[in-house]
Structure formats: C-alpha cells, structure tokens
Amino acid sequence: MLHRFTRISAERGATIALAVSLLGCTTATRTGLEATRPTFASAGALLSNIENGVRGTFESQTLSLALDRIDQRGLPLDRTYRRTGTGHGVTVYVFDGGVLGTHPELQGRVRKGFDAFPSDPKVCNAHGTAVSGAIAGKTLGVAPEAEIVDVKMVECNKLRGTIKAIVDGTAWVIEDHRLHPGHPAVANWSFIADTTSHIAQLDTAVAQLREAGIPVVVSAGNVEINACRVSPGNADGAIVVGASAIVRETVEGQTKLVDRRSTNTAFGPCVDIYAPGDSVLLPSFDASQTPSAQLWNGTSMSAGYVSGAVALFLESHPFASPDDALGYLRNNATPNVVEDTRSPLSWLLYVGSMREEYKSVAEIRAQQLGRRQ
C-alpha cells in the first residue's frame, strides 16, 4: 500500500481540508532486492564513516538501497554511499504531521517550529519522521548533519491538514528564516492537495518561499496521472519529485536490473527529477514511540532524498538561489535511465562525485562570498 492522497477542490477556499494519509507501507517490495525487514539497530550497523578526506568527501557502507543508488550512475549497487558534504549549517523545514525528535537518526537536530494545531499530540504518526530521515537521518539520510525544523500542518485525529495551515506555516517559515541569517534553507512539501488544477494560495506560498531564497521540494504524488495536474507541484518554481524503483527485467532471455518509475507515481514532463521511493529503509516508531527502521513507499520519501541533496548543495553554496538548486540537481542527475516516465527526458538524483569535488566547503563558500562583494 502506498501513501494515499485524496483530491480536493481549489474553489472551496483557504480553510479547505487537505486530505493527506500518513500511513506507510512496510510490505516486501516487488523487486526482491531488499534485505529482510531490519531492526533499528541492524539498520545502522553498517553505516559507519570510513573516509573523510580533506576535500569533504565521505564514504560509508550502507544497507539503504536508496542511498546506494543515488551515489552511482549505473547498476548494480555496491552497498556504499559516497557524498560531498554533510548538510551542516543548512535548515530543512518539513511540512508534515510532526517529527519525532528523539529518534536516534535525528536526535539533537530537530527544532520544533510552527504547529497549526497546538492542542494536538506533537507527532501524528511516523510519516514526517521518515521523510526527515530521508533528508537528514544520521545513517539513512542524504545530509546527516542538516537541521530539521518541524512545521506541523496536519491535524492528528483527522490526519488532515488545511490550506490555511500550510499558508500560515509558510509565513512562519519565512520569518524564522529571516531571524536566522547565514543559514540557507529548504522547504520539503511531501503532500498533494489537488489533482485537477492549481490552488492559488499554494502557488503564492511557493512564490513567497522562493522570494525568501528557500527552494521548495514537492512530492509529485502517488497517483497515476500527469504531474502537471497536481497541486502544489504545478506551482511555478516548485521542484517536483517522482519515485523510482529498481526492478528486474528480462529481455530475450537476459535478466538485468533497471530503474523504472514506481507504480502509481505521477508522470510526465512536469516531474523535475526522480529519486528512490520503492521500499526505502527509513526511520519509524511504534505506538509507544519506540524507534525503529522500516520500509516505506512513495513520492513523499523521494522528495525527502531530494531535499537532502539540496541541503548538500547549499552547504557549499549558501547564497545560491532556488533556481540554482534546481540547476544543480539537473546538471548532476543521471539522465534518461528511469523507464516509463512518459516524458522524452528524465533525471535520476545523483549526489556522488561532483565537478567541484576538488574544492573544500570552505573554499567554495569563500569563492561565493567574493562574488557577492
């Protein structure tokens, strides 16, 4: 079962309910590539840093097929995650149903921010924690030193948010970002609100965040439709993320591994980039909030990986614009390896060796600062 999102009508106004199911999927994948469901302890057992070169390149063994996939151009995987940077100094605002800040993957790096429903429990369920883990998990995330700010826009007893909650959360984020100069930021929106048209209030919210210098990373949606129809992904300037899967394919008697658009993922030319979203290993917890790791499906998680990649970029390019962030993603992505995208071009997230890998983070920051003076 994928995360489900139901359709609402834009005409019903700013207080309209945004139906967002935050229930994850932990069943086995269709690929047969994953390990059996791990405990939290075993999930992190192999993820120890084994190299920290003078140029800020990190290499770790990993059980995460998602991290393993986004650091290399082709298949098969090699059980290693390589990246440049850690996301240190970058803030990621996670619009969701709450984040469990005590989870070992995130502990010490979650700040409570805006809450549209202050009388609610602080965390509705594990969805926001999983998304945050994809962004910045200590061992399961793309940018393991980024800061997560919890922007809660879902009402727990209904598992619904509102357009007003998102708009109010956006205003809070912009002010909070202003109060923290020198900290580049990303907004992660792992939800959809409409599958037929634009929602003007969300279009405006995306524009306001971008004007404040904050890229907005949006899930394409777990619906088998053209992503150009899905709000807020159809807002001008949003970075729209689709989910990819690794599958076995047999052609003329030869079996090989290929990247394919995940089942029930929005498709088409409005998807800016794909990232793993099929049975990806991420943080979770049970009813007693005991931390664990489990397998998740959906574009929510894919968006988290991309937000983490943007955090890596902003660590070394703190004055970059939202358009620069998309340019970085596209320029470094692996082109046209994802099948069934229903678009002439596709891009798969890549955070491995970069063109600027010979420079340290400090060198790149100094160069960018010089350009501004």
Active site residues: 96, 127, 300
Q: What is the dihedral of CA 218, 223, 228, 233, to 10 degrees?
A: -10
Q: What's the CA gap between 17 and 239, in Å, rounded?
A: 23
**Contact by Cβ (8 Å): 318, 310:** no
**Quick one: which of 127, 163, 222, 205 has its CA closest to 18?**
163
Structure tokens at 21: 């199911």
**Quick one: which of 109, 112, 25, 108 has its CA closest to 296?**
25
Peptide bond into 318 cis (omega under 30): no
Peptide bond into 76 cis (omega under 30): yes
Amino acid at 270: C
Q: What's the CA gap between 4 and 224, in Å, rounded?
A: 12
